[in-house]
Structure 1
Amino acid sequence: MIADDLPYRRVGEPRRGGIVCVADHASNFVPEDVPLGIPAALLDTHIAIDIGTDGIADRMGRRHGIAAHIATVSRLVCDLHRTEDSPGLVPTESDGHLIAGNIGANIKARLERFHRPYHAALGEWLDEADPELIVALHSFTPELESKVEDRPWEVALLYNQDDSAARHAIRLFGEEGLTVGDNQPYSGKQLNATMDRHAEAMGRKYLTIEIRQDLIATRAEQARWAALVTDIANRVALALKAEG
């Protein structure tokens, strides 16, 4: 649910100049006054939520000292990881499923209620924290319904123009024995809206991390990945600092 009518929640207190986490797709919550016209079971799938990211981001904030800004509304209501003029901001289709309730939706109202408050608060939070590194946390489905596509990666790094942090993380995840995607299964040059706005445009270093959802479905798996992502992020921050 949305606490205090806010489309986000916070976990942990950011350490100024430290590392923070952002999770745009961490919730499958749909307000009662936003009928989507889809079977309820779809809300537990990847079209509604980045499975596992809420648990990882929450644990990073509570256990690992990386404060988190976490979305509390489903991407099917308003995709917070899109620009305001994106056709996918209020999706009418996702992975072959019609989102009938969004056809003819009042997009301006969704922007005012969800998207703009989320990003205004995130911008202020980041200004105050002045982080050395932002971890933008996402997950991806191992298999799409609408097309056949090989997705062998266990974790992937997405980036647009600035790949300086991502390059270190790709190497470090690889050294952990993981199969690492480089701007896969989709490119950060097309899907990087939040970090384009709050990181690249502001000169902040970031990691957009995509984890395959079947690896982070349980609390135990989320705890493992929270520790791993924290370790990698800290090592990337040190590497960037060493480069000056």
Structure 2
Amino acid sequence: MGMTHEAWRIVGEPHFGGILIIADHASNHVPADIDLGIDPALLNEHVAVDLGVAAVAEHMAEQAGIAAFLGGVSRLVCDFNREEDAPGVIPDISDGHAIPGNELDDAGRAARLNRFYHPYHDALADLLDRAPPALIVSLHSFTPSLASRPQEARPWQIGVLYNQDDRAARLAIPMLTAESLAVGDQQPYSGKLLNATMNRHAEAEGRPYLGIELRQDEIPDAAAQLRWASRLHRVCNAVAVAMPG
């Protein structure tokens, strides 16, 4: 399909009854007319992008019945996985790093949301209505530790997150554990606290979803990304098949 917009892109062909991967933080792109006022090196850090996620999603979308909806700008430009009125939707600080270009007045904030946030969520809602999937997979990655809390180790290779709807999570966790993985149930943080995109497009509509967090050092290169894409393809298909009708 390969549809694109400044705020998002679609990889693969969405199908009724298939699997749709949603990666809110798949890109570190900052449009040329936006100056965040940061060291450009930060754009290659977790504060700007979920490292490795785009490649994993793209590999998964090469398989029949799977498509991916990927965010098109850095989370520092607009964080799609936040509520519209949340301060962090246009963050002025992230993991201890100041983002001075995001100190916007009300008009500037509204313009940023109208340019990126609303088109992203409007397009996602339209896609889910046009081609309702059997399973949504929310795909993110996390750091082995946070710069602001380096003493807190994050030993989980993969985390499974959810809010109220844990149907897919309860199926996926034992499948992943059976593969000798260190699986975090509501780790490295709880989906009850940070689940905005899934709350809006999945839980509010009764659509089953699986929230996945991969530790970034699990997917540092092409070989590891392909390996995880293959594993998640297998597990997500099994979860979709096992979901009650």
**By the TM > 0.5 criterion, same fold?**
yes
Alignment check: 8 A CA contact 2:77 2:90 kept: yes
Show the counterpart of 2:81: 81
State percent identity of aligned pairs.
56
Map of 1:10 onto structure 2:
10
Q: Secondary structure, in 3 states, of the residue corresponding to 2:86?
A: coil
Number of the residue aligned with 1:124? 126
2:7–2:73 Cα contact (<8 Å) kept: yes
Equivalence for 1:142: 144
The answer on 1:216 being equivalent to 2:219 is yes
Look up the match of 1:62: 62
Q: 1:64 to 1:226 in 2, by over 3 A?
A: farther
- Does residue 155 (structure 1) correspond to residue 153 (structure 2)? The answer is no
One-letter amino acid matched to 2:154: R
Give how far 1:94 is off.
0.7
CA offsets 1:101-123 (integer angstroms, 9 cap, x no match): 11125211111000000000000
Q: Aligned partners of 1:19 and 1:218: how far apart in 2? A: 24
Matched-pair contact (CA < 8 Å) for 2:18–2:65: no
Question: How far apart, CA to CA, are the structure 2 residues paired with 1:172 and 1:163?
Answer: 15
Q: Which residue of 2 aligns with 1:225?
A: 228
Structure 1 residue identity aligned to 2:93:
E
- What is the rounded CA distance, in whole Å, between the counterparts of 2:205 and 2:185 in structure 1? 23
Partner of 1:45: 45
Gaps of 5+ in 2: none
For residue 65 of structure 1, report the CA deviation from its aligned partner.
Answer: 3.6
Aligned position for 1:112: 114
Residue 10 of structure 1 aligns to a residue whose secondary structure is strand
Partners of 1:108 and 1:136 lie apart in 2 by 26
- Displacement of 1:6: 2.4
Q: Which runs of 4+ in 1 moved over 6 A?
A: none
The corresponding residue for 1:171 is 174
SS in 1 for 2:87: coil
Contact 1:64 1:227 in 2 (8 A): no
1:186 aligns with 2:189: yes
Q: What amino acid maps onto 1:122 in structure 2? A: L
Measure, in 2, the Cα distance between the counterparts of 1:208 and 1:64.
21
Q: In structure 2, how many angstroms separate the alpha carbons of the residues matched to 1:172 and 1:193?
A: 26
Secondary structure at 1:68 match in 2: strand
Give the whole-Å Cα distance in 1 for the aligned partners of 2:143 and 2:219: 11
Distance (whole Å) between structure 1 residues aligned to residue 212 and residue 190 of structure 2: 12
Partner of 2:33: 33
Pairwise CA distance, 1:64: 5.0
For the Cα contact (< 8 Å) 1:27–1:72, is it kept in 2? yes
* Deviates most, 97-106 or 72-81: 97-106
Q: Which runs of 5+ in 1 are unaligned?
A: none
RMSD across aligned positions (CA): 1.2
Equivalent residue letter for 2:96: G
Deviation string 1:121-149 (CA, Å, 9 cap, x unpaired) is 00000111111100010000111111121
- Encode CA deviations 1:192-234: one digit per residue, 9 max, x unaligned: 0001000000010000100000111111111111111111111
Give the TM-score, by structure 2 length: 0.95
Q: Distance in 2 between matches of 1:4 and 1:179?
A: 36
Cα distance between partner residues in 2 of 1:20 and 1:132: 8
Inter-partner Cα distance in structure 1 for 2:42 and 2:132: 38
How far, CA to CA, are the matches of 1:137 and 1:118 in structure 2?
16
Cα distance in 1 for residues equivalent to 2:46 and 2:4: 26
